[in-house]
Amino acid sequence: DAGITQSPRHKVTETGTPVTLRCHQTENHRYMYWYRQDPGHGLRLIHYSYGVKDTDKGEVSDGYSVSRSKTEDFLLTLESATSSQTSVYFCAIRLGLAGPDTGELFFGEGSRLTVL
């Protein structure tokens, strides 16, 4: 099974403070994603990465930045957190599509962020 860990799992912070969420994978999957999930909006793509130092924006990238300096780590940073960024954040890795592999996204357990 693909190994993926998100940290922290829960965080409460105040408006205006910087926040970094970490996604760590134990396998060398090329593609990694950050989504946020809010009631009534489903899963919305923030940023994704297709390799070390290769990232691209998703639907809701304003207010977020990402970095990927190593294959195994994909960091999501909120430079100055706002209450509208209160959400559950999911990291995902993309499995291969060749042979029996399905090309699926495998999700981490999520990080619940509350911005007061």
Partner 1 sequence: QQPVQSPQAVILREGEDAVINCSSSKALYSVHWYRQKHGEAPVFLMILLKGGEQKGHEKISASFNEKKQQSSLYLTASQLSYSGTYFCGTEMDSGGSNYKLTFGKGTLLTVNP
Which chain residues interact with partner 1 by CB under 8 A? 31, 33, 35, 40-45, 48, 50, 56, 58-59, 90, 94, 97, 101-110
Which residue number, 45 or 52, has a Cβ lying nearer to partner 1? 45
What distance, in Å, lies between the first and last C-alpha atoms of the chain?
36
Whole-number minimum distance, CB 65 to partner 1, in Å? 18
∠ CA 49-28-31, nearest 5°, is 20
Complex with partner 1: residue 24 or 44, whichever CB lies closer: 44
Closest distance of CB 20 from partner 1, Å: 20
* Residue in the block written with tokens 């919305």: 44
Nearer Cβ to partner 1 (17/89): 89
CB 34 within 8 A of CB 89: yes
Cβ–Cβ < 8 Å for 92, 35: yes
Smallest gap from residue 16 Cβ to partner 1 (A)? 29
Closest approach of Cβ 100 to partner 1, in Å? 8
Cβ atoms within 10 A of the Cβ of 78, count? Answer: 19
Give the residue with the Cβ less far from partner 1, 36 or 115.
36
Token pair for residue 88?
């559950």
